[in-house]
């Protein structure tokens, strides 16, 4: 527990230092605090996973109650790990898209980490909402103040609107479920006594609130703009770290609320996840900028995690505790893998932005020669996001699909159909993900430079950047290769939520992982890693040993003309067949924005127009309001007093 | 099925050449030849009739510069006692020294093995040479049976076939194509324009192919018959000796 | 036709030509020439089948005609003759290869540019296209030719009249007979030479045989594009038989060195008659059998349907000629306009209404059928008499003639002043290549060669 409190203290100190001390020192202080705070959070998580839940309570009236149980510890660990990597990167030189001397970015990063940790460990509903709003504010600062994008303020406004609206939903849900109490466990326990309708409404509100953060439909409209307006460094923290609080929330509510869990909760979460996965990656594949591609890829991966959580919730409803266990394990593994890979990807985008000036595909190319480390790191991160073995994304997605394959055990027709459709959708999404990331790596990094700016790119000599990128890439791959170790570390979380020793079943034949049902299927991530690595090493040795024939260096052959780099394949051209086939899905993005949000926004604005009329500023009108209200109160006073 | 039966009913159309004898039609115009013993005035009349200045009067009897002759037959019509059109089609020329070139070709060709890939480049032809090169792949000649194949990329090509005089705009693309081919490589110039520039004025075009890339075999004609081109390829591959070397201009 | 020099300015000539075109005439040509009085520009239009020309000396800048059909012609005036036109063209020159840096017609960040050519795959002529694409389709295509410019129009100057047809045969060797005939007829028109009927019959047979082998070439290339190797092999074999027939008859596989000013250089009719008596029937039978099988192959027809569609309005706006025009239902055959070369009956044009590659292929097939018919007509007519008329001595004269080459309407204009001074050539390919621009958008990359070979044009006679 003390480690967590130290983490909070460090982050507050870092925020203060970054805000008050001028120059690079302030910035470095902020990022150092992020790194150390993340490390402390990791320690706290490890401590809880090893020794059980911890809590800390200040005076009850202050609503300051923290509690770290295994579920919170898992997410503490994830967010903390991302904080460490981002913090180390931030210790390097200021990146080009940070405004001023970068202190705003440092403040924002520390703030995001602080708020994420607070949300994950809050034991009081008000503290939870406070943490959530703090997170929204930190996002606002990151998007509006920390970056140099002129569209920052409008993107920040949109983000704030949606996350604040999510907070409103949270508050409403808390009110609906628990009457009078604020303590989170009692609140969730109170849910048992509420009617199914009330619980259902509450769950739907929770899902909307947390879903807005992770980006289920129709909420992801803020993500692309938000993540590109914020400096990529801070976006790494946001997309890699803060995203996970949404998963934490859904896990906490879906699997933590007492009483019988209805089946439709799990199926709804699964359906939302599957749709998010499909649409997210369809939109990612047609993006022209690496950061928007990464942003929509987050939506896809969030969808996969949600499918895992949906399986767990549905299994809980159907009383299949081992299936619940594998669902939770899949969701956690994938969330970990995604957090590390996404944060690494955004950090690599920051490096590319700093060295080549842009992250737009049209203007990149040929970076494998000038930025070899970044290219390899992006390859590792992209491999994880595409679920290539033996990366973390593969482990997570494999487990998710294995959990879905257990549909035949549910014995429920609706559940079986939903499982099957979700599995199919994730399959399609995985395929389209390959297109999107081959585009990212192939058009952005391979080939020849498309513009003079890309030609002039040169890697900086920053040790912190290199260390952070390598650490992130190793993490993204390591989570996969060492998946059994990760699952055993998260054992308490999995078993706690499932209620049975599911981890033991998953790791029954360690180092192979199995989907909690013996004899069904298995995967050996370490073995896959060894095989891939072994083949690569053997090939390298073979190439070095075999004498190659005499070769000459000649220019590229292009129909007899001189080679012109602008005739290379563009990202749009490469993704064109995908865009044509997924045309309806791609166009749905505009539809979501226009049909849903514009209408809602227009309705609000109309209502606001009407309400504004009441505040006309005429004193006589205000006096008449008081008069009318007094008369009404006098008339109704007896009735009111009775009541 | 339709095509299959149709093909069977036609039988084999393919010539055996160069494995067997083949004839061109009796009056077919091969290259011009000087008939000895004609009066000088007849030689001069024929030489004046040649648009590509292929008749060299500085020797006695005159010499036909075979790389320039584009087989119009006008000299033979104008001065039938001085010139005649030979019916032969094995017209390939190799530059300068016959013996050493032949040996070099044979050595280089042996390293190519039994099958050869050909890349065609149009340096500025009048489209007839291209159609005759294309004709080599029709069932009558079927170059594939000799192990000669067409390739789209010079990176896989062993032999470069260039048709047409090289225009100024095509010089650089031709040179790039040549340089994109890996060693060992051969170049065959097909057509009188490719071999010598024939009727083209030097101020409007760059010139024959050997102004841009080194040429191993020249096949004169406008256009040369497919059998002539085939003979030229066979000479380039060192399978048969050329009959003649290029007369210096 | 004999051309009379008008006493007008280039501006007036341009206005008169534009007036005729607005009145329904088809724009045919505009070219420039230079004599001792200065540069003059001649406009040629086709009014109900008759050629009309308007010319005048250039005073200063000239107004553009504003017709898509005249686009490349005016480009040539500007780039090769230094004529000043009021409108500056924005596109890279189709006639002089340029660097094409930074040229963009499609104003969209999604479109990327690909340069296709000049050295292309397979055996083909050197030409380049600037292709703008959004991925797999054509957004815009700009032809960028001029790689085969050989200065042939200038080469004619000063060449003796008996050798000049050889230069014409070098303009486009594959359609050498059409070019030599067009040149010869222009000279004969200028010098008032009447070609004897025997020579006319020989020329008719040669040009129809040339039409057959060029159309077979285009159809064989289409079969090759459709990966129908067997079909292509049979069609190329049919083409080879025609070449062998010509080689047996007139000593050259393409019929070169036969046509001269005044007739033919030897008794070509007799040679053709002798060769055709033995061989024509087999050639005709094999050709028609191969065509029938080709057009009964659904895999090939599938690729041709709807590819490279051109509607009649576009054909009219661009002044297209030949099978390209006839494939969209627009009649345009020089043989009907100026009387068939030699036939005892009226023949009608082969028209198809589809406007796509299949329609153009069907037009070619119909024309092959008709050509065999015309060859037989000419052989049966067997007119006696000499094969060549004497050419009188000449001073200053000008003449113009047109023939129907396999690609379409081909015109030659010649000017003498004691010797051959200027030859101007308007080939069908020069008129038809600009139609690539409206034909390609909407098709995908793999359709390119189908469209190119369904046009069946020759770059050599475009670049000259």
Give per-residue pLDDT as tens, A17-54: 888 888 888 888 889 999 999 999 999 898 888 888 88
Q: Does C189 score more than 60 pLDDT?
A: yes
A15: its two tokens = 């925020």
3-state helix, strand, coil in chain A (%, to 5): 75, 5, 20
Please answer whether residues A112 and A237 qualify as being in contact, where contact means their C-beta atoms are separated by less than 8 angstroms: yes
Lowest mean pLDDT among A129-143, A277-291, A590-604: A590-604
3-state class (DSSP) for residue B159: strand
Percent of chain A at pLDDT above 70? 97
Average pLDDT over residues C118-134: 88
Identify the pLDDT of residue C344: 47
Identify the pLDDT of residue A634: 85
Identify the pLDDT of residue B160: 94
Lowest mean pLDDT among A178-192, A309-323, A435-449, C48-62: A178-192
Of all residues in chain B, the one with the smallest CA distance to C231 is: B3
Q: What are phi and psi of C351, to 5 degrees?
A: -120, 150
pLDDT tens-digit readout, A546-565: 877 777 777 888 888 888 87
CB–CB of B176 and A552 under 8 A? no
Identify the pLDDT of residue B109: 67
Q: Is A534 exposed, middle or buried (0-12, 13-18, 19+ CB in 10 A)?
A: exposed
Going by the DSSP 8-state scheme, the letter that residue A360 receives in this structure is B
Q: Does A191 score more than 70 pLDDT?
A: no
Q: Does A486 score more than 80 pLDDT?
A: yes
pLDDT tens-digit readout, A213-262: 887 777 777 888 888 888 888 899 998 888 899 999 888 888 877 777 88
Please answer whether residues C92 and C115 qualify as being in contact, where contact means their C-beta atoms are separated by less than 8 angstroms: no
Q: Cα distance from B241 to chain A (closest Cα, Å)?
A: 31
Partners of residue B4 in chain C, C-beta under 8 Å: 230
Phi-psi region of C2 (alpha: psi -120 to 50; beta: other; left: phi over 0): beta
Q: What pTM did the predictor assign?
A: 0.82
CB–CB of B138 and C121 under 8 A? no
Percent of chain B at pLDDT above 90? 36
Q: Cα distance from B161 to chain A (closest Cα, Å)?
A: 15
Identify the pLDDT of residue C4: 66
Interface membership of B97 toward A (CB under 8 Å) = no
pLDDT tens-digit readout, A80-112: 999 999 999 988 888 778 888 888 888 899 999
Q: Chain centroid to CA B94: how far? A: 10
CB–CB of A566 and C112 under 8 A? yes
Q: Is A606 exposed, middle or buried (0-12, 13-18, 19+ CB in 10 A)?
A: exposed
Interaxial angle between packed helices A392-405 and A413-445, expressed in degrees from 0 to 180 and rounded to the nearest 10: 160
Q: Could you tell me which of C47, C399, C329 has the C-alpha nearest to residue C189? A: C399
CB–CB of A561 and B121 under 8 A? no
Cβ under 8 Å to B: C residues 298-337: none
Average pLDDT over residues A557-581: 83
Q: Which among B152, B153, B157, B176 is the top mutation candidate for probing chain A, defined by the most A β-carbons within 10 Å of its own β-carbon?
A: B176
Question: For tokens 């991925």, what's the residue?
Answer: C135
C-alpha pair distances (Å), A330 with each of A87, A143, A526? 28, 32, 17
pLDDT tens-digit readout, C292-333: 999 999 999 999 998 889 988 999 999 999 999 999 988 887
Work out the mean pLDDT of chain A and round it to a whole number.
86
How many C-beta atoms surround the C-beta of residue C52 within 10 A?
16
CB–CB of C101 and A575 under 8 A? no
Report the neighbours of C using a cutoff of 3 or more CB pairs below 8 angstroms. A, B
Average pLDDT over residues C244-258: 92
Partners of residue C149 in chain B, C-beta under 8 Å: 124, 167-169, 204
Spell A330-354 as b/e; 16+ CB within 10 A means b.
bbbbbbbbbbbbbbbbbbbbbbbbb
Identify the pLDDT of residue B13: 86
Please answer whether residues C55 and C400 qualify as being in contact, where contact means their C-beta atoms are separated by less than 8 angstroms: no
Q: Does C413 score more than 80 pLDDT?
A: yes
pLDDT band at A450 (very low <50, low <70, confident <90, very high): confident
Of all residues in chain B, the one with the smallest CA distance to C118 is: B173
Average pLDDT over residues C428-438: 92
C112 strand-pairing partners: C133
Partners of residue A561 in chain B, C-beta under 8 Å: 173, 176
Lowest mean pLDDT among A525-539, B160-174, C246-260: A525-539
Partners of residue A552 in chain B, C-beta under 8 Å: 182-183
pLDDT tens-digit readout, A371-404: 889 999 999 999 999 988 888 889 899 989 988 9
3-state class (DSSP) for residue C404: strand
Of all residues in chain A, the one with the smallest CA distance to B153 is: A557
Q: Which among A551, A552, A553, A557 is the top mutation candidate for probing chain B, defined by the most B β-carbons within 10 Å of its own β-carbon?
A: A557
Please answer whether residues B200 and B179 qualify as being in contact, where contact means their C-beta atoms are separated by less than 8 angstroms: no
Q: Which helix (H) or strand (E) holds C409?
A: strand C408-417
Identify the pLDDT of residue A198: 81
Partners of residue C109 in chain A, C-beta under 8 Å: 288, 362, 572
CB–CB of C124 and B73 under 8 A? no
Determine the number of helices (DSSP H) and then strands (DSSP E) in chain C.
17, 11
Q: Does C340 score more than 60 pLDDT?
A: no
Q: Does A641 score more than 80 pLDDT?
A: no
Identify the pLDDT of residue C341: 52
Going by the DSSP 8-state scheme, the letter that residue A191 receives in this structure is G
Q: How many CB pairs under 8 A join A and B?
A: 23
Of all residues in chain A, the one with the smallest CA distance to B121 is: A560
Q: Which of A142-151, A454-463, C217-226 has the highest mean pLDDT?
A: C217-226
Work out the mean pLDDT of chain C and round it to a whole number.
87
């Amino acid at each position: 527990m003390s480690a967590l409190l130290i983490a909070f203290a460090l982050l507050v100190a870092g925020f203060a230092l970054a805000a008050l001390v001028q120059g690079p020192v302030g910035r470095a202080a902020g990022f150092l605090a992020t790194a150390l705070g993340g490390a402390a959070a990791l320690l706290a998580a490890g401590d809880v996973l090893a020794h059980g839940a911890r809590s800390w309570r200040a005076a009850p009236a202050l609503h300051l109650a923290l509690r770290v149980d295994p579920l919170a510890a898992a997410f503490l660990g994830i967010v903390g790990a991302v904080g460490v990597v981002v913090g180390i990167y931030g210790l390097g030189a200021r990146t080009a898209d940070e405004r001023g001397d970068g202190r705003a970015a440092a403040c924002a990063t520390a703030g995001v980490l602080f708020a994420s940790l607070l949300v994950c460990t809050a034991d009081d509903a008000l503290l939870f909402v406070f943490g959530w709003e703090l997170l929204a504010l930190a996002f606002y600062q990151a998007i509006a103040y920390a970056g140099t994008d002129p569209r920052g303020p409008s993107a920040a406004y949109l983000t704030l609107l949606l996350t604040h609206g999510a907070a409103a939903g949270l508050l409403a849900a808390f009110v609906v479920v628990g009457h009078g109490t604020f303590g989170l466990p009692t609140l969730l326990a109170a849910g048992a006594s509420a009617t199914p309708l009330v619980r259902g409404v509450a769950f739907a509100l929770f899902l909307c609130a947390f879903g807005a953060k992770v980006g289920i439909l129709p909420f992801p409209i803020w993500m692309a703009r938000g993540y590109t307006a914020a400096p990529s460094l801070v976006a790494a923290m946001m997309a890699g770290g803060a995203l996970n609080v949404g998963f934490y929330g859904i896990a906490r509510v879906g699997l933590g609320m007492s009483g019988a869990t209805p089946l439709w909760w799990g199926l709804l979460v699964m359906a939302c996840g599957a749709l998010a996965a499909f649409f997210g990656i369809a939109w990612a594949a047609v993006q022209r900028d690496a950061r928007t591609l990464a942003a929509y890829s987050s939506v896809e991966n969030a969808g996969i995690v949600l499918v895992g959580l949906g399986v767990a919730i549905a299994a809980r409803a159907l009383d299949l505790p081992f299936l619940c266990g594998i669902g939770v394990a899949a969701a956690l593994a994938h969330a970990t893998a995604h957090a590390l890979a996404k944060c690494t990807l955004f950090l690599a985008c920051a490096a590319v932005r700093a060295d080549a000036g842009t992250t737009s595909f049209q203007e990149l190319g040929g970076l494998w020669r000038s930025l070899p480390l970044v290219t390899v790191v992006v390859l590792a991160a992209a491999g994880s996001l595409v679920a290539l073995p033996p990366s973390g994304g593969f482990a997570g997605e494999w487990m998710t699909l294995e959990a879905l394959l257990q549909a035949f055990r549910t014995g429920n027709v609706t559940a079986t159909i939903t499982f099957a459709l979700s599995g199919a959708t994730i399959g399609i999404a995985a395929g389209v993900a390959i297109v999107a990331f081959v585009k990212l790596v192939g058009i952005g990094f391979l080939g020849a430079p498309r513009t003079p700016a890309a030609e002039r790119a040169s890697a900086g000599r920053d040790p912190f950047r290199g260390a952070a990128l390598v650490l992130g890439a190793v993490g993204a791959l390591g989570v996969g290769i060492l998946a059994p170790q990760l699952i055993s570390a998260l054992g308490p979380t999995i078993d706690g939520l499932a209620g049975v020793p599911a981890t033991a079943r998953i790791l029954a034949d360690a180092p192979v992982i199995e989907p909690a049902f013996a004899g069904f299927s298995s995967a050996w991530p370490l073995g896959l890693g060894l095989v891939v690595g072994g083949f690569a090493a053997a090939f390298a040795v073979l190439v070095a040993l075999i004498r190659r024939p005499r070769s000459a260096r000649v220019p590229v052959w292009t129909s007899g003309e001189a080679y012109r780099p602008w005739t290379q394949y563009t990202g749009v051209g490469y993704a064109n067949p995908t865009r044509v086939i997924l045309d309806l899905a791609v166009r749905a993005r505009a539809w979501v924005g226009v049909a849903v949000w514009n209408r809602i926004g227009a309705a609000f604005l109309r209502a606001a127009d009407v309400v504004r009329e009441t505040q006309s500023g005429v004193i006589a009108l205000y006096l008449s309001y008081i008069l009318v209200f007094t008369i009404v109160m006098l008339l109704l006073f007896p009735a009111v007093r009775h009541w | 099925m339709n095509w299959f039966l149709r093909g069977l009913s036609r039988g084999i159309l393919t010539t055996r050449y160069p494995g067997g004898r083949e004839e061109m039609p009796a009056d077919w115009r091969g290259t011009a030849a000087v008939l000895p013993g004609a009066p000088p005035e007849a030689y001069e009349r024929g030489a004046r009739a040649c648009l590509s200045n292929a008749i060299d009067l500085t020797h006695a009897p005159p010499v036909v510069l075979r790389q320039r002759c584009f087989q119009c037959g006008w000299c033979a019509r104008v001065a039938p006692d001085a010139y005649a059109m030979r019916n032969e089609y094995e017209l390939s020329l190799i530059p300068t020294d016959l013996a050493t070139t032949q040996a070099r070709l044979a050595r280089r060709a042996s390293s190519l093995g039994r099958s050869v890939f050909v890349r065609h480049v149009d340096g500025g032809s009048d489209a007839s040479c291209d159609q005759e090169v294309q004709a080599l792949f029709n069932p009558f000649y079927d170059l594939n049976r000799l192990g000669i194949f067409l390739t789209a990329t010079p990176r896989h090509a062993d032999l470069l076939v260039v048709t047409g005089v090289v225009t100024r705009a095509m010089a650089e693309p031709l040179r790039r194509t040549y340089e994109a081919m890996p060693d060992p490589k051969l170049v065959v110039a097909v057509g009188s324009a490719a071999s010598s520039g024939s009727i083209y004025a030097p101020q409007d075009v760059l010139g024959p192919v050997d102004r841009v890339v080194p040429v191993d075999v020249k096949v004169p004609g406008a256009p040369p018959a497919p059998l002539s081109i085939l003979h030229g390829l066979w000479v380039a591959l060192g399978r048969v000796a050329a009959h003649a070397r290029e007369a210096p201009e | 036709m004999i051309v009379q020099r008008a006493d007008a300015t280039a501006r007036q000539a341009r206005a008169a030509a534009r007036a005729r075109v607005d009145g329904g005439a088809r724009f045919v040509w505009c070219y420039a020439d230079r004599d001792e009085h200065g540069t003059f520009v001649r406009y040629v239009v086709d009014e109900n089948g008759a050629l009309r020309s308007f010319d005048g000396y250039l005073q200063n800048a000239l107004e553009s005609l504003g017709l898509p059909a005249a686009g490349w012609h005016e480009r040539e005036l500007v780039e090769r003759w230094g004529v000043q036109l009021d409108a500056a063209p924005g596109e890279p020159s189709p006639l002089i290869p340029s660097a094409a840096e930074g040229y963009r017609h499609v104003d969209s960040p999604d479109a990327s540019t690909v340069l296709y050519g000049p050295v292309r795959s397979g055996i083909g002529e050197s030409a380049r296209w600037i292709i703008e694409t959004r991925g797999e389709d054509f957004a815009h295509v700009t032809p960028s030719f001029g790689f085969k410019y050989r200065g042939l129009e200038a080469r004619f100057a000063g060449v003796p009249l008996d050798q000049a047809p050889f230069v014409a045969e070098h303009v486009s060797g594959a359609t050498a007979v059409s070019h030599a005939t067009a040149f010869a007829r222009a000279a004969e028109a200028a010098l008032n030479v009447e070609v004897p009927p025997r020579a006319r019959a020989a020329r008719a047979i040669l040009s129809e045989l040339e039409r057959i082998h060029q159309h077979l070439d285009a159809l064989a290339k289409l079969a090759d594009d459709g990966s129908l190797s067997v079909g292509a092999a049979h069609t190329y074999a049919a083409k080879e038989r025609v070449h062998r027939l010509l080689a047996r008859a007139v000593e050259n596989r393409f019929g070169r060195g036969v046509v001269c000013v005044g007739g033919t250089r030897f008794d070509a009719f007799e040679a053709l008659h002798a060769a055709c008596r033995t061989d024509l029937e087999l050639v005709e039978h094999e050709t028609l059998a191969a065509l029938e099988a080709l057009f009964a192959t659904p895999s090939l027809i599938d690729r041709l349907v709807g590819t490279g569609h051109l509607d009649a309005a576009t054909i009219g706006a661009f002044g297209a000629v030949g099978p390209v025009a006839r494939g969209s239902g627009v009649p345009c055959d020089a043989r009907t306009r100026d009387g068939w070369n030699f036939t005892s009956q009226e023949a009608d044009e082969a028209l198809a209404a589809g406007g796509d590659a299949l329609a153009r292929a069907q037009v070619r097939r119909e024309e092959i059928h008709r050509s065999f018919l015309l060859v037989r007509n000419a052989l049966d007519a067997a007119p006696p008499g000499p094969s060549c008329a004497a050419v009188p001595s000449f001073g200053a004269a000008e003449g113009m003639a047109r023939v129907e080459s396999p690609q379409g309407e081909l015109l030659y204009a010649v000017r003498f002043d004691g010797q051959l001074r200027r030859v101007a050539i308007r080939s069908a390919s020069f008129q038809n290549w600009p139609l690539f621009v409206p034909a390609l958008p909407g098709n995908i990359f793999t359709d390119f060669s189908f469209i190119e070979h369904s046009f069946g044009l020759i770059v050599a006679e475009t670049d000259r």
